[in-house]
């Protein structure tokens, strides 16, 4: 199956996870580990950037649900950014825009975190 | 220099020429310049004799090495010769006395013929002495590192010094020098005789014969030593010939006496364990061990353990392990008697530095050039590496290692190679078996999942006067989570659901079964799609794992009121085909199980559509719109809409089959990744007979298509 990888960079208190490639049942554990690592480091302000993501399956969507509760309890959030139309459509059908803040660009999403402060 | 094997540089012919030249020069010299009183004569003669000893010994060393004999042969040969020498020494005096009347008198002033006979006799003893020495050296280094010869070299130096000092200092003012050299030589001889490692490698039968031989030989050496003492004829004779050689001869006899006495005792102590060793050796050569491998192919780990275990026994190695190629990684398995880190270091040296990759059979490598040798926690020095081959590739390697000074020899190679061939077959079989079991298990799982799914979705479409219904369901190979169902709520109301469980395989199938249970009971209790979905979310929120969720669309058709009401929980939109146009209805709603009920409730919208004649309602799962072709393009909404408009006036079954035909055609060269579900409803005004006819003409066989 196609490749998937992530990279994390810190911008102040905000951590940005960049997704690249195909996120499905087989590759979802990679992203899951990213969330676990960030939670371990008490970094709860997370932006996930989809700019380079080509495809997401339902199992890929599930990863976001697995940790959101814990992150929000710790006064953090996951904000999503940079989705192409196809990926946005999948999120939209499931009602994700009602559960998550979705931004056009990574910068806007990061900015949103800092504004709250 | 003496033992650094310069002999190998001289070719055999050349050494023969040199030996002949030296023999002739000794003869000529003695015949021409014989003098009993001249010290100069003795010195020059000894120089000739010593160089002769040197060349001859090197020549014998090379000869013996070339034949590569086993130690028993060497022992037997020296035994025959020592017996011969024994007889010669005893009878020499009598024989020469008969020949020359009174030998003793002629020592000092021999005639030409006597001189010739004496010289031949002395050179014969000299040749034999050199042969013994070469034999002792070979025995000393058998199954040992040839490099570790410091003791031996020191001994050789002192034997030489002691020999020369016999000529120069014996019986003179500096006799203590001779005595010192002599004592050190004796100590070194004793030290070098102590280590006899090859004894462990021979069979019990050989050990017993060795025991008898060694006691006879050591006795003969001792007797020769006594018979050659200075008071005896031989002693006098050889001293007269060359004091240096006499000393050398005596020291070699002493070496023989000590070595074979030590050998006798060593063998004696090895006899009790000989039987155990023999039994092991026999087991190795029999197929008993190999057959053990065949019974263990069921458990790969256990098999690997057995292989390394047997490998150490077969090759008398100290440690063994298996390396398996796992993609680009090399995985160490069943490391026996060696730390994982050590095995890893050695692997890196052998396989990554290019020393032993691309081998086709067992190869013996030593670790002399291994830069990180000092990092090893134990002193592994010699390695035997064998490839584990399958039909097409090298799956890994079986590696055996010996510690310290023991090294692998060519004869070890055959045993290891044969064994590794058997091990390869066993490993190959085990892996194949494992794969087929895993494949079978997966297929079973898919079978179960498909079976559950088939029992969950309706067997046939329901039939109504005003509504024709056609549904198509095509499960993917690795079952997705599609589910749809119809519920006859009352005579005038039909409930239906289309859902997609996130996930695949048996776990999705179980959630599907749960979803079916929830909706079939809720549809009897509640008559509002919105309320049913809210209740379903409440239940699923509790029961589902956080990562799981279900997208669903629930609708109710009211035949009396001629309306359809539906709510969508994260599912694909509902499509209405009316007046040659497609309208997508996507009321707000979050997938089931994604969020808590208060949030879910707020965002869930219910839609009501008044039905008109020939209104066609299309419900589907993303298996249709996300079906991909070889270029990884999606089938998409546009193609879907177009085909619906084109066939808008056809019967429901016709529309369904056209859609499926198009999707199948589009993705014909690509793997069907997700389940495909399509439900089409067509409304017919009351008392419209066409609708009924249409249903009867539908083609039910489409529903059971399985890829």
**pLDDT tens-digit readout, B467-510:** 999 999 988 877 678 999 999 998 899 999 999 998 777 888 88
Mean pLDDT of B97-101: 73
Rounded CA-CA distance B615/B575 in Å is 10
pLDDT band (50, 70, 90) for residue B285: low
Strands B363-366 vs B329-336: parallel, antiparallel or unpaired: unpaired
Question: Residue B623: closest CA among chain A residues belongs to which residue?
Answer: A57
- Residue B169 DSSP symbol: T
Query: What ipTM describes this predicted complex?
Result: 0.90
Domain that holds residue A47: 4-116
Contact B549 A99 (CB under 8 A): no
Q: Which two tokens stand for residue B183?
A: 């004592």
Put simply, whether A1 touches B (Cβ < 8 Å) is no
Model confidence at B3: pLDDT above 50: no
B351-373 burial, b at 16+ Cβ within 10 Å, e below that, comes to beeebbeeeeebbbbebeebeee
Model confidence at B127: pLDDT above 60: yes
Q: Up-side HSE of residue A111: CA atoms within 13 Å toward CB?
A: 8
**Best of B593, B594, B625 to mutate (most A CBs within 10 Å, chain A):** B594
Model confidence at B329: pLDDT above 80: no
* pLDDT one-digit tens code per residue, B633-677: 889 899 999 999 999 999 999 999 999 999 999 988 888 778 899
H or E element: which one contains B683?
strand B676-683
The closest CB to that of A65, out of B549, B551, B622, belongs to B549
To the question of domain B289-434 being in CATH 3.30.450.40, the answer is yes
Residue with the larger pLDDT of the pair B288 and B424: B424
Per-range mean pLDDT, top range of B124-128, B289-293, B331-335, B394-398: B124-128
Contact A58 B503 (CB under 8 A): yes
H or E element: which one contains B42?
helix B39-67
Q: Up-side HSE of residue B6: CA atoms within 13 Å toward CB?
A: 9
Contact B549 A66 (CB under 8 A): no
Across B257-309, the runs of DSSP E, i.e. the strands, are none
Count Cβ atoms below 10 Å from residue A102 Cβ, excluding itself: 19
How many beta-carbon contacts under 8 Å exist across A and B? 60
Tell me which of B62-76, B98-112, B345-359 is least confident: B98-112
**Best of B500, B570, B601 to mutate (most A CBs within 10 Å, chain A):** B570
Question: Residue B603: closest CA among chain A residues belongs to which residue?
Answer: A98
Residue B313, Cβ density class (10 Å: 0-12 exposed, 13-18 middle, ≥19 buried):
middle
Rounded CA-CA distance B426/B617 in Å is 61
Strands B606-610 vs B581-585: parallel, antiparallel or unpaired: unpaired
The closest CB to that of B504, out of A25, A63, A86, belongs to A25
Quote the pLDDT of residue B699. Answer: 43
Per-range mean pLDDT, top range of B192-196, B244-248, B528-532: B528-532
State how far residue B334 is from chain A, nearest Cα, in angstroms. 30
Quote the pLDDT of residue B656. Answer: 95
Quote the pLDDT of residue B289. Answer: 65
Residue B321: closest CA among B386, B418, B228: B386
Q: Which two tokens stand for residue A49?
A: 């950037």
Rounded CA-CA distance B48/B66 in Å is 27
SS3 letters across B303-332 = HHHHHHHHHHHHCCCCEEEEEEEECCEEEE
pLDDT band (50, 70, 90) for residue B401: confident
Structure-token match 């010739």, residue found: B116
**Best of A1, A61, A65 to mutate (most B CBs within 10 Å, chain B):** A65
Contact B549 A69 (CB under 8 A): no
Contact B591 A94 (CB under 8 A): yes
Q: Which two tokens stand for residue B258?
A: 């000590």
Mean pLDDT of B434-461: 85
Give how many domains chain A has, as a whole number.
1
A residues 89-108 closer than 8 Å to B (CB): 90, 93-96, 98-99
The closest CB to that of A95, out of B503, B573, B603, belongs to B603
Q: Which two tokens stand for residue B41?
A: 């004569």
Put simply, whether B508 touches A (Cβ < 8 Å) is no
Quote the pLDDT of residue B540. Answer: 93
Residue B167, Cβ density class (10 Å: 0-12 exposed, 13-18 middle, ≥19 buried):
buried
Residues of A whose CB is below 8 A from B588: 95, 98
Rounded CA-CA distance B166/B248 in Å is 9
Task: Extract the residue ranges of chain A whose pLDDT is less than 70.
Answer: 1-2, 116-117
SS3 call for B612: coil
The closest CB to that of A94, out of B504, B551, B599, belongs to B551
Model confidence at B595: pLDDT above 70: yes
Residue span(s) of chain B under CATH 3.60.40.10 come to 457-692
We report the CATH number of the domain holding residue A37 as 3.30.750.24
Q: What is the mean pLDDT of chain B?
A: 82
Q: Up-side HSE of residue B563: CA atoms within 13 Å toward CB?
A: 9
Rounded CA-CA distance A112/A109 in Å is 5
Model confidence at B597: pLDDT above 80: yes
Model confidence at B113: pLDDT above 80: no
SS3 call for B186: helix
Name, in order, each residue with C-beta under 8 angstroms of B255's C-beta and a sequence gap of 6 or more.
B132, B133, B136, B189, B192, B193
Whether pTM exceeds 0.90: no
Q: Which two tokens stand for residue B213?
A: 């031989």
What architecture is the B457-692 domain classified under in CATH? 4-Layer Sandwich (3.60)
Residue span(s) of chain B under CATH 3.30.450.40 come to 289-434
Residue with the larger pLDDT of the pair B35 and B256: B256
């Amino acid at each position: 199956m196609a490749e998937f990888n992530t990279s994390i960079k810190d911008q102040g208190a905000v951590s940005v996870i960049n997704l690249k490639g195909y996120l499905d049942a087989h590759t979802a554990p990679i992203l899951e580990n990213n969330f676990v690592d960030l939670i371990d480091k008490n970094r709860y302000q997370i932006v996930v950037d989809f700019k380079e993501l080509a495809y997401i399956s339902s199992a890929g969507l599930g990863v976001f649900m697995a940790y959101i509760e814990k992150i929000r309890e710790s006064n953090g959030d996951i904000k999503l950014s940079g989705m192409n139309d196809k990926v946005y459509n999948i999120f939209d059908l499931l009602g994700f825009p009602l559960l998550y803040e979705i931004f056009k660009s990574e910068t806007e999403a990061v900015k949103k975190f800092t504004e709250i402060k | 220099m003496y033992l650094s094997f310069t002999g190998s540089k001289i070719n055999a012919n050349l050494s023969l020429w040199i030996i002949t030249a030296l023999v002739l020069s000794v003869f000529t010299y003695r015949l021409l310049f014989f003098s009993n009183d001249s010290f100069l004569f003795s010195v020059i003669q000894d120089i000739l004799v010593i160089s002769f000893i040197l060349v001859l010994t090197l020549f014998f060393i090379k000869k013996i090495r070339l034949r590569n004999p086993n130690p028993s042969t060497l022992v037997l040969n020296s035994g025959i010769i020592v017996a011969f020498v024994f007889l010669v020494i005893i009878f020499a005096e009598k024989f020469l006395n008969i020949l020359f009347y009174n030998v003793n008198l002629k020592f000092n002033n021999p005639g030409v013929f006597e001189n010739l006979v004496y010289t031949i006799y002395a050179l014969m003893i000299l040749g034999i002495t050199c042969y013994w020495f070469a034999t002792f050296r070979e025995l000393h280094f058998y199954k040992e590192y040839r490099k570790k010869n410091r003791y031996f070299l020191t001994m050789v130096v002192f034997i030489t010094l002691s020999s020369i000092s016999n000529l120069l200092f014996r019986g003179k003012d500096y006799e203590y020098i001779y005595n010192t050299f002599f004592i050190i030589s004796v100590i070194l001889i004793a030290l070098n005789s102590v280590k006899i490692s090859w004894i462990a490698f021979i069979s019990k039968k050989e050990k017993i014969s060795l025991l008898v031989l060694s006691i006879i030989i050591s006795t003969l050496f001792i007797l020769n030593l006594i018979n050659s003492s200075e008071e005896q004829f031989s002693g006098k004779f050889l001293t007269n010939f060359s004091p240096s050689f006499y000393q050398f001869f005596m020291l070699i006899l002493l070496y023989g006496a000590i070595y074979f006495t030590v050998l006798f005792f060593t063998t004696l102590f090895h006899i009790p364990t000989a039987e155990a060793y023999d039994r092991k050796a026999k087991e190795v050569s029999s197929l008993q061990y190999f057959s053990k491998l065949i019974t263990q192919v069921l458990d790969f780990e256990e098999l690997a353990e057995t292989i390394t275990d047997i490998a150490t026994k077969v090759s008398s190695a100290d440690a063994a392990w298996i390396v398996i190629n796992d993609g680009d990684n090399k995985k160490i398995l069943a490391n026996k008697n060696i730390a994982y880190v050590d095995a890893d270091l050695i692997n890196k040296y052998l396989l990554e530095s290019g020393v032993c990759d691309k081998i086709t059979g067992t190869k013996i490598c030593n670790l002399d050039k291994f830069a990180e040798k000092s990092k090893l926690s134990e002193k592994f020095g010699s390695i035997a590496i064998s490839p584990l081959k399958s039909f097409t590739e090298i799956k890994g390697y079986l590696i055996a290692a010996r510690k310290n000074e023991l090294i692998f020899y060519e004869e070890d190679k055959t045993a290891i190679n044969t064994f590794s061939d058997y091990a390869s077959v066993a490993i190959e079989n085990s892996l194949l078996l494992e794969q087929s079991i895993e494949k079978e298990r997966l297929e079973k799982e898919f079978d179960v999942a498909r079976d559950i799914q088939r029992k969950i979705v309706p067997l046939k479409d329901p039939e109504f006067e005003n509504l024709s219904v056609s549904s198509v369901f095509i499960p993917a190979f690795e079952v997705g989570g599609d589910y749809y169902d119809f519920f006859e709520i009352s005579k005038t109301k039909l409930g239906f659901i289309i859902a997609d469980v996130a996930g695949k395989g048996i776990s999705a199938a179980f959630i599907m079964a749960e979803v079916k249970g929830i909706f079939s009971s809720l549809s009897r209790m509640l008559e509002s799609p919105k309320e049913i979905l809210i209740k379903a979310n409440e239940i699923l929120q509790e029961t589902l794992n956080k990562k799981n969720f279900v997208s669903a669309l629930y609708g109710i058709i009211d035949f009396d009121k001629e309306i359809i009401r539906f709510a969508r929980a994260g599912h694909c939109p509902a499509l209405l085909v009316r007046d040659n146009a497609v309208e997508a209805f996507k009321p707000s709603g979050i997938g089931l199980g994604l969020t808590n009920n208060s949030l879910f409730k707020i965002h869930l919208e219910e839609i009501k559509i008044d039905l008109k004649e020939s209104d066609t309602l299309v419900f589907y799962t993303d298996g249709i719109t996300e079906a991909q072709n070889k270029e990884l393009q999606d089938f998409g909404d546009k193609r879907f809409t177009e085909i619906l408009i084109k066939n808008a006036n056809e019967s429901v079954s016709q529309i369904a089959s056209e859609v499926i035909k198009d999707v199948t055609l589009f993705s014909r060269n690509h793997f069907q990744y997700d389940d495909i579900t399509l439900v089409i409803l067509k409304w017919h005004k009351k008392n419209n007979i066409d609708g009924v006819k249409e249903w009867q003409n539908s083609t039910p066989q489409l529903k059971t298509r399985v890829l």
